[in-house]
Chain A
Amino acid sequence: MNTTQKPIMEIKDLRFIYPGAAQPTLKGNNLTIYENQITAMIGPSGCGKSTLLRALNRIHDLYPGCKYDGEILLRSNTTGEMNDILKLRKENEFIKLRQQVGMIFQKPTPFPMSIYDNVAYGLRLSGIKNKGELDGRIEKALKEAAIWDEVKNRLNDSAMGMSGGQQQRLCIARSVALKPKVLLFDEPTSALDPISTAAIEELISELKKDVTVVIVTHNMQQASRLSDYTTFMYLGDIIEFGPTEEVFLNPREKLTEDYITGRFG
């Protein structure tokens, strides 16, 4: 693992409190996300993996009353500076952030519209109206999500009629179409069968050429197969972070070792 990789996001002393919660769910997390690398988040259920992931595109802010403390830095395309996304306030700033930091959910979330319109949706929101450009971007995104061959003859069919695995790849295509810098995956295969899971994993490995990936997973094999870096969380703290090989083969913390070897979960 070389050490010249560039950070694309940096999380500094991040505390997060859900509305109405007495205790913070994240208790001062520090983490670096490296560009074009896959970072896996593992840890027992309820330890705060999703909460941390969802802070990275501030999707939490859809619900009023969430409290953040600390910094989440994201490297700017234009200036190369690290800007704090926790400083964002205006809706158009959030929209810009989410165009750069996309998100894939546990259950596939196809919109009730055609396959074509699903992928076009984010593109149209970003202001692309030209049919030719849309067609091009959509074809490219569907190819990148390895689903073009399956759907090219039925782009106008409803996305609701696809299989779960296809829907999940469609959702990835929909996000990839916006050319995001970072893609966040929250247990993207836990609702899928093994074959679809393998396809999604292969796809994620391919994607890292163009995009940085952060993936929450319950599946230890998936984390070790797929990721370059792994972070282990426990009760709202980041216990360990490092190159995946090290974390899995030679963990520094006893807690990490216990978790990885299945002594608790």
Chain B
Amino acid sequence: MNRLLLNKIILILSTLSAFVGIGFLFWILVTLTYKGVASLQLTTFTHDLVEGGIRNLLVGQFTMAGIATLVTVPLGVMAGIYLREYGNATRVTSIIRNLSDIMTSAPSIVIGVFVFAFLVEPFGTFNGWAGAASLGIMMLPIIISTTDNMLALVPKELREAGIALGGSKHKIILQIVLQAAKVGVTTGILLSFARIIGETAPLLFTSSNNQFFTMDMNSQFPSLTVSIYNLATYPDEASRNLAWAASFVLTAIVLFINLVGRFVTRSKHL
């Protein structure tokens, strides 16, 4: 009887906390959508920050995240392949694996400070490359560990079957094993992209921000997230409304990427 009572209490408590959690999330989303949509105008997307739009911010944010992705994906996937397929469970492998796991949870502000010291300070100016580097450093360990973990799910018989047909190890890895792990690796890349596209801290003192449209990576670079951070603290109504609009757009983008990630995971024959 006592056990049943305890069971009920725990059930009620956990249901309650689930509702509280979902309630807050819902509240945030509703507020965000309500205020965001109300503040959105067509000019929000066609104008740059100086004229009250977010065009240059979107382009800037995606440029830095895109460069980070282009550099990090091949590096991270290759490192993951090394760890799983060539590392042979040696000490070095396990050290790299642990370091990479630790990096995954490194506070993003710390990464920002680190990049500031190496790519901003020596050049005397905030710049887009530094922003991209920060985002890349955030992304790299996520891609390494997803690749590593996804390759671990591929049965060893599949590799052996390839070898038994007269394949060489590197061909089997690239043509069969990676193919078999493709969905997982792709999902990992998408989710890590979703993670960095919404980051502020690593950009705050690396790329900083720019009100104007620019593609010059050697100068301060426009960023959506840093702008939201700045705009939200301005006293005027227009700035704060723009912050709402920008937040809504950012949330929509992240949500969309996550949904694509889930869709990719579910589709069997990619």
Contacts and interface: CB of A to CB of B under 8 A. Distances in A.
Co-complex (A, B): yes
Interface of A: 57, 59, 62, 64, 91, 95-96, 98-99, 102-103, 105-107, 109, 111-113, 121-122, 125-126, 158, 160-161, 171, 174-175, 178
Contacts of B162: 111, 121
Given A105-B157, A107-B157, A174 B169 contact: no
B165 A62 contact: no
Nearest to A61: B163
A171 B179 contact: no
B180 to A, nearest CB: 5
Contacts of B166: 95-96, 98-99, 122, 125-126, 178
Contacts of B164: 57, 59, 98, 102-103, 175
A109 B180 contact: no
Interface residues of B, number: 23
Interface string B142-178: 0000000000000101111111111111010001100
A62 B155 contact: no
Per CB-CB distance, the 3 closest pairs between chain A and chain B, nearest first, are A122-B165, A109-B161, A103-B164
Contacts of A105: 157, 160-161
Nearest to B182: A112
A102 B165 contact: yes
Contact of A125 (B158, B159, B171, B179): B171
B161 A113 contact: no
Contacts of B180: 111-112
Contact of B269 (A111, A121, A158): A158
Nearest to A64: B88
16 contacts: A64-B88, A95-B166, A95-B167, A98-B165, A98-B166, A103-B160, A105-B161, A107-B157, A109-B161, A112-B176, A112-B180, A113-B179, A122-B165, A122-B167, A125-B166, A126-B166
Contact of B168 (A95, A106, A178): A95
A150 to B, nearest CB: 19
Given A105-B160, A111-B176, A160-B268, A62 B88 contact: no
Interface in B163-204: 163-169, 171, 175-176, 179-180, 182
A175 B157 contact: no
Interface of B: 88, 155, 157-169, 171, 175-176, 179-180, 182, 268-269
A107 to B, nearest CB: 6
A105 B156 CA distance: 11
Contacts of B169: 62
> Main SS of chain B's interface residues?
helix
Contacts of A160: 268-269
Of the candidates A59, A99, A102, A121, the one having the most CB atoms from chain B within 10 angstroms of its own CB is: A121
B165 A121 contact: yes
Contacts of B176: 111-112
B94 to A, nearest CB: 16
Nearest to A102: B164
Contacts of B88: 64
B166 to A, nearest CB: 4
Contacts of A62: 159-160, 163, 169
B269 A103 contact: no
B195 to A, nearest CB: 27
A109 B268 contact: no
A171 B158 CA distance: 11
A121 B157 CA distance: 16
Given A59-B163, A95-B168, 5 more contacts: A59-B164, A98-B164, A102-B164, A107-B155, A121-B162
A108 B189 CA distance: 30
Contact of A178 (B159, B165, B175, B179): B165
Nearest to B161: A109
Nearest to B167: A125
B269 A174 contact: no
Nearest to A62: B163
A106 B156 CA distance: 12
Given A103-B160, A113-B179, A158-B269, A91 B155 contact: no
B158 A109 contact: yes
Contacts of B269: 158, 160-161
Nearest to A109: B161
Of the candidates B155, B160, B162, the one having the most CB atoms from chain A within 10 angstroms of its own CB is: B160
Contacts of B157: 105-107, 109
Contacts of B167: 95, 121-122, 125
